[in-house]
Structure 1
């Protein structure tokens, strides 16, 4: 039996949407009220908490006398004046450092802290991915290149038929070693490992160079797409 949505959750989401709409038209008092009610219904609702913080900040800013306005500078670029603030931590940030959030914007540090765990890649993850990717890519490329040496005109059929599946073996091995890490650093690491594996297979195994080259073209593009 499908679970029904909690009426409290539905009401909280509706209040968050109302608060976001009020923020867009500049009605910060109404936005604060909506976000306060949403946060009271769901204390762990991050959008409601961020929206309430941003609405309160803008209300305080609007109430501050013009004479008391102070020039603020981006905490990452001390020479750049800004009126933007991170919704999460409240620090001033410039346009280059801001990333739009559901309400307001986030600084680079808070944005990284909110990334899913499998996109938080540590140096050790890259080392594991590189080593496992290199070993498996060398073996898989050597096998494909060896088989390709006997196929002649059927070489292209081999590459496009089993190339993606062979690349999937490399990707699964890297996922096992890194704990399913994703993102550009992993993509670059695995792509480089596959190219180096192809070079090693060409140098030390009786392979068809064209088969190795075609497999790397298909395999690297497949691996990069899978690890996005």
Structure 2
């Protein structure tokens, strides 16, 4: 079996012959600017070097080892931006709200995260601290550690999925040239009228006619509360005495 590839954090913080304006932090920030502007596919050694004003892409290798190192730094930077409090809240549910809402906020700013997160193992210091905080929030519930990690994964995964859907909605609107809900409704009006008048979709037509537009934040919190209710009922109540938290 081959030796594992060294992680970017195993590389020297100040490589021999390092240039003063380069660092892992600066490289990560430049790569994130590129990805935020043009998507994850735009992140190349050459493009990041250009963003930094480096002479050649080769000048970055001693800091990051290669493109995988840049991706690792980018992903871990996003985990750092989630900004979890120093300690979890007293109640597990409040902590899971913090975890989900702050994660969604960071991932909305960086819609490329989901695509890259499945390409690399998340072994960075911020990612590890994120998981440790999340497990600490559940530590007093007496759950098996595997079950606790499953709960963390469900809650974080909900935030990731919701943020990804929001990002795809933004991309769709950008492709068709609309920027507001009003513009989207105006663009879709002929198709909506066709659905309402079709007769084959009475409930959908009723929703179009009567349903109030749900705000994304409200939808997110409703889904999160439903998820936490399910965790309480299916996992916690099954293993705790009546009235247990």
TM-score (structure 1 length as normaliser): 0.28
TM-score (structure 2 length as normaliser): 0.27
Structure (1/2) with the larger strand percentage:
1
Q: Which structure: larger Rg?
A: 1
